[in-house]
């Protein structure tokens, strides 16, 4: 019989990956993670353990079976919602719309519906990549790489961050040193040489701390205002696309000058020396690191007024007075207001059917498809709102919801 509750289990750390927390839990019993999965977590654990070990962490941290999260809740008392936020799936639709690569062909919608640095009406884009998901390689691409801070790795109670697996941050938000492949960051035996510690720039630290703030609090403090973490993820991914824009795509001289200024400040050739364009997710890690440096520099230069972020979301990075970039009504303002309201409302409307419905209507205002509407609805449910308060898209009802 499987015991219902573990007598020992360290609490999950802010931003920690599910696999990291389970590794630390298993080590409390001097067990390998595979043993914990196969012999203590029932059918769901054995289901995960069937995958070869190299993919364990990937499945655990990407989209583990719902049953496994329920069993982990029984064993530890950690709420299922908190466990889910230790996985990539727990961050849909904010980090990415969906994990399903067949439904995620929305590069243009995710990356180019808004803009930050450039006037997006003055950019000539190439064709959209297919089978694309933000931050993740294609479904049949190589596995993600867990990276770690060498200073954090000195302390076994420090876990590995979920987002350190993605090309979304360069440094440790606590120590400001470059994240390295986890195998290189750890001292493998007493007396082994110290792992290499490389500091990231102040600009990169500032950007990584914003990402960590968003992951741990749900909000990110920008020069102009505090925004929902979903806005931050979107803004960051847009800037990473913009610093990767071939100059020949830019029709406006000011945008070309902005791009050249950013890359000159990071002392690298424009676009890290690439000739052809490829989406950020398809670049190798060295080029992704260069893009992250350039994005951090772009945000710094914008906040200092050295460059003017002319895009629809550009004013969020600037301390300058508001410059109207669109005539009223501005959909960017409407969207930003909606997520600001989300921040304020979420905790107070869990039991309020009407407010829940109203929030869904607000957040789905730009969704033109049943799939997009349903993704937003599911995101609110994942964030704690009640499914029975949130109606399905008309015609997709699985049951008729009575009015309150």
What mask of x and - would describe binding to Zn ion in positions 63 to 102, judged by CB under 5 A? ----------------------------------------
Output helix, strand, coil percentages for the chain, rounded to the nearest 5.
50, 5, 45
CB of 82 to Zn ion, least distance (A): 22
Question: For residues 37 and 59, is the Cβ–Cβ distance under 8 A?
Answer: no
Among 44, 60, 152, 222, binds Zn ion (CB under 5 A): 152
Stretch that binds Zn ion, among 4-12, 58-66, 150-158, 274-282 (CB under 5 A): 150-158
Q: Does 149 bind Zn ion (CB under 5 A)?
A: yes
- Angle, helices 202-217 vs 229-242, to 10°: value is 150
Nearer to Zn ion, 197 or 355 (CB): 197
Question: For residues 165 and 60, is the Cβ–Cβ distance under 8 A?
Answer: no
Q: Does 172 bind Zn ion (CB under 5 A)?
A: yes
Q: How far apart are CA 191 and CA 178, in angstroms?
A: 22
Q: By CB under 5 A, how many residues form the interface with Zn ion?
A: 6
Nearer to Zn ion, 152 or 294 (CB): 152
CB of 165 to Zn ion, least distance (A): 15
Among 63, 70, 74, 174, binds Zn ion (CB under 5 A): 174
CA 247 remoteness from chain centre: 28
- Is the preceding omega at residue 129 within 30 degrees of 0, hence cis? no
Among 145, 175, 209, 265, binds Zn ion (CB under 5 A): 175
Token representation of residue 190: 């007493």
Nearer to Zn ion, 213 or 242 (CB): 213
CB of 210 to Zn ion, least distance (A): 17
Cα angle 285-236-66, degrees, rounded to a multiple of 5: 80
Nearer to Zn ion, 72 or 152 (CB): 152
Sequence length of the chain is 404
Question: For residues 134 and 101, is the Cβ–Cβ distance under 8 A?
Answer: no
Q: Which spans of this chain sit near Zn ion (rule: CB under 5 A)?
A: 149, 151-152, 172, 174-175
């Amino acid at each position: 019989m499987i015991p219902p509750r573990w007598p020992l289990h360290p609490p999950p750390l802010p931003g920690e990956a599910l696999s990291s927390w389970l590794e630390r839990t298993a080590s409390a019993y001097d067990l390998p993670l595979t043993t914990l999965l196969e012999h203590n977590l029932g059918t769901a654990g054995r289901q995960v353990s069937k995958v070869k070990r190299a993919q364990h962490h990937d499945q655990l941290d990407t989209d583990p079976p719902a049953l496994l999260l329920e069993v982990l809740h029984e064993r530890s008392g950690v709420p299922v919602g908190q466990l889910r936020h230790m996985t990539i799936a727990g961050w849909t639709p904010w980090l990415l719309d969906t994990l399903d690569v067949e439904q995620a062909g929305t590069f243009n919608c995710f990356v180019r519906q808004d803009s930050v640095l450039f006037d997006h009406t003055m950019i000539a884009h190439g064709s959209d990549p297919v089978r694309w998901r933000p931050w993740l390689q294609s479904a049949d691409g190589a596995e993600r790489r867990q990276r770690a801070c060498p200073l954090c790795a000195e302390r076994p109670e420090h876990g590995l961050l979920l987002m350190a697996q993605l090309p979304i941050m360069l440094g440790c938000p606590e120590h400001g040193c470059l994240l390295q492949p986890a195998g290189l960051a750890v001292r493998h035996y007493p007396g082994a040489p110290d792992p290499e510690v490389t500091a990231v720039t102040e600009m990169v630290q500032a950007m990584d701390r914003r990402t960590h703030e968003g992951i741990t609090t749900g909000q990110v403090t920008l020069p102009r205002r505090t925004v929902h973490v979903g806005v931050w993820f979107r803004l960051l991914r847009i800037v990473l696309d913009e610093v990767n824009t071939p100059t020949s795509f830019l029709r406006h001289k000011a945008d070309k000058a902005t791009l050249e200024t950013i890359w000159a400040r990071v002392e690298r050739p424009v676009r890290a020396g690439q000739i052809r364009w490829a989406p950020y997710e398809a670049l190798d890690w060295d080029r992704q690191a260069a893009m992250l440096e350039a994005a951090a520099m772009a945000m710094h230069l914008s906040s200092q007024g050295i460059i003017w972020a002319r895009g629809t979301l550009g004013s969020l990075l600037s301390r300058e007075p508001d410059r109207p970039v669109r005539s009223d009504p501005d959909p960017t303002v409407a969207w930003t207001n909606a997520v600001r309201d989300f921040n304020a409302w979420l905790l107070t409307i869990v039991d309020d059917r009407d407010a829940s419905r109203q929030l869904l209507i607000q957040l789905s205002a730009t969704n033109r498809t049943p799939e997009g509407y349903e993704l937003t609805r599911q995101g609110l449910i994942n964030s704690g709102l009640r499914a029975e308060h949130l109606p399905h898209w008309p015609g997709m009802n699985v049951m008729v919801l009575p009015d309150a």
